[in-house]
Structure 1
């Protein structure tokens, strides 16, 4: 547990997704994000890049909405989900070692969200922790906050 401005952030590991290489759940108020990291045991031949896949999933049930009517399923990722996936990917990719060509998947799922929740920031923290706990050689965990400049003052994680 740690305090981030006015929010108490609780970080749990090993309680959910026990079959994943690493998993972390981050709680803050009514927002919960689960991140899992899984890596292949062997390299694919002929790959000269880091095959890292990052998925950020914000399901309708997280906000208490159930798809109905014509659209019964979630569908493709929204633009926001794609951007949040990139938000997670960008700081993590350079920290993986050179020559690490094992296929790796990192999935951050929003389990529940409340108004004013900072699920994207929490997803970065959860993903970093899950990757750190997995068998991936990731030795530099990262954190994230959202900053706003209002009237010359910085505000951390504005709502």
Structure 2
């Protein structure tokens, strides 16, 4: 049995005195049932998955484009396991809400005007070093996942 075709793109960014960072985007390995899925890596520490699903038929009675962006920061991504009382992840943090808005704002104009199909983008932070920012990586991963879907 053959596996999925895995496609990857990698770039090394020189940040001057801050050092170099390696950014890698990969498709085909994770979330194979999503219409578009991208695993994004920043160095070897940060990994997030952006998956896109769109409705096949336009929604009736909508006079706007129904785009939903969710950012799920898992506790285990930072090495924390919820204890006995706090088993569930809970509501999104303020940072996650701001990243949702950062993704939605530049991505919404890239869709065709008049599109009424429901589109959902889910960004799941799977691994992150404490103190790392993943917003720019999430914007690029979400954009790539919508382009390939």
SS of equivalent to 1:32: strand
Mapped partners of 2:13, 2:37: distance in 1: 21
**Counterpart pick for 1:22 among 18, 24, 36:** 36
Runs (5+) with no aligned partner, structure 2: 1-9, 15-19
- Report the number of matched residues: 134
Q: Identify unmatched segments of 5+ residues in structure 1.
A: 135-159
- CA contact under 8 A between 1:50 and 1:103: conserved in structure 2? yes
- Secondary structure of the residue aligned to 1:35 is strand
TM superposition shift of 1:116:
4.6
1:32 touches 1:113 (CA, 8 Å); kept in 2?
yes
How many angstroms apart in 1 are the aligned matches of 2:107 and 2:54? 15
Give TM-score scaled by structure 2 length.
0.86
SS in 2 for 1:100: coil
Among candidates 22, 25, 49, match of residue 11 of structure 1: 25
Q: Is 1:2 matched with 2:11? A: yes
Q: Does 2:143 correspond to 1:128?
A: yes
Structure 1 runs, 4 residues or longer, greater than 6 Å off:
none
Normalising by structure 1, we get a TM-score of 0.81
